[in-house]
Structure 1
Amino acid sequence: MKARNKRLMLVGGGIALLVAAAALVLSAFQQNLVFFHTPSEVAEGKAPVGKTFRVGGMVETGSIQRDADGVTVRFVITDTAKVIPVSYRGSLPDLFKEGKGAVVQGTLGADGQFRATEVLAKHDENYMPPEAAHALEQAHKTATTVQQ
């Protein structure tokens, strides 16, 4: 085999390996991609049923209920316009409280119940994820406009 053919095969093999590696990276990225939705978007059907995504908003006051098993917690996340019922099985963060911001990750059931696999509580009184702050602001504007 000529040296030129060997080089072409080597370059071709290298390109094939790079393409395969890029495909694996993109595949892994696609599987781990988690989108953020507001309670209003979920209520409007814009969130995927059965797929993992995040919902952020405020924990509605008076909505936290603990099941008899001591592990399952049910609460409601709101953006002041719409509410989403959430169930979570596990330990809640110390900063998780009614009337405070939270982001939950999980799946939406066909019954409209959000089954969280992870609960994140805001860590500072003044901090809120930009997406959640924007969503709350938009929902508040919409609610104000509808009431007038």
Structure 2
Amino acid sequence: MNPVRRRRLWFVVALVAAGALSATLIAFALQRNVAYLYTPNEILGGSAGPAVASGEARFRLGGMVAGGSFAREAGSMEARFRVTDGDAELPVSYTGILPDLFRENQAVVATGRMVGDTFVAEQVLAKHDETYVPKEVADKMGLAHEKHGVGTPADAGPAQ
């Protein structure tokens, strides 16, 4: 093999190795930032996995804010409420300013992790009008109700 071909071969090998290394690093970075969406029934039923239930994994909790469950401590930024999917309710604690559209009996998606039996939210997102439920939440809630033979929950509204 002449020196020009050998140099070209090493260049191609180095280029392929650099591409593989960068693809691996990107995959690891994206995997760390993935937050899966679960409903209260999936978390309490154990189908979300042991890492979610133990508080090791960061994930998104989706459902409806249960009626009569919202409370804020006087003089505090801590809000407590329950999120329901129609089959189960999970208590949520959030410290911060809630979105303007946040209210009871409306769709919510919160990002955080479990601490004991309570979901501690780092971020809370609320729906944008009275007929909207995030598609992922509506699909998950509908799937949970189909498994129990109840059908799609009436209060979930149309998914858009």
Determine if the TM-score, normalized by the shorter chain, exceeds 0.5.
yes
Listed as ranges, the matches of 1:5-44 within 5 Å are 5-44=6-45
Tell me the amino acid that sits aligned with residue 124 of structure 1.
D
How many residues end up aligned between the 2 structures?
144
Match of 1:113 among 118, 137, 150: 118
> Which residue is equivalent to 1:129?
134
Higher relative contact order (CA 8 A, sep 6+): 1
Listed as ranges, the matches of 1:45-84 within 5 Å are 45-47=46-48, 48=52, 49-50=54-55, 51-84=57-90
Per the TM alignment, residue 143 of structure 1 is displaced from its structure 2 partner at its CA by 7.2
Match of 1:86 among 88, 92, 109: 92
Q: SS of 1:61's equivalent?
A: coil
Residues 36, 56 of structure 1: 8 Å contact kept: yes
Q: Distance in 2 between matches of 1:94 and 1:130?
A: 21
Q: Distance in 2 between matches of 1:112 and 1:91?
A: 23
Residues 107, 134 of structure 2: 8 Å contact kept: no
Per the TM alignment, residue 68 of structure 1 is displaced from its structure 2 partner at its CA by 3.4
Q: SS of 2:100's equivalent?
A: coil
Percentage of identical aligned residues: 40
Unaligned runs of 5+ in 1: none
Tell me the amino acid that sits aligned with residue 100 of structure 2.
D
Instruction: String of CA shifts for 1:113-145, please: whole Å, max 9, x gaps.
Output: 000001010112221112211233344452749
TM-score normalised by the chain length of structure 2: 0.83
Q: Distance in 2 between matches of 1:143 and 1:40?
A: 15
TM-score normalised by the chain length of structure 1: 0.90
Unaligned runs of 5+ in 2: 152-160
**Which segments of structure 1 move beyond 3 Å, counting only runs of 4 or more?**
138-141
Pairwise CA RMSD: 1.7
Q: SS of 1:102's equivalent?
A: strand
Tell me the amino acid that sits aligned with residue 16 of structure 2.
I
**Residue 4, structure 1, aligned to residue 12, structure 2:** no
Instruction: String of CA shifts for 1:31-69, please: whole Å, max 9, x gaps.
Output: 011101011001112231321111111101111111234
Q: SS of 1:118's equivalent?
A: strand
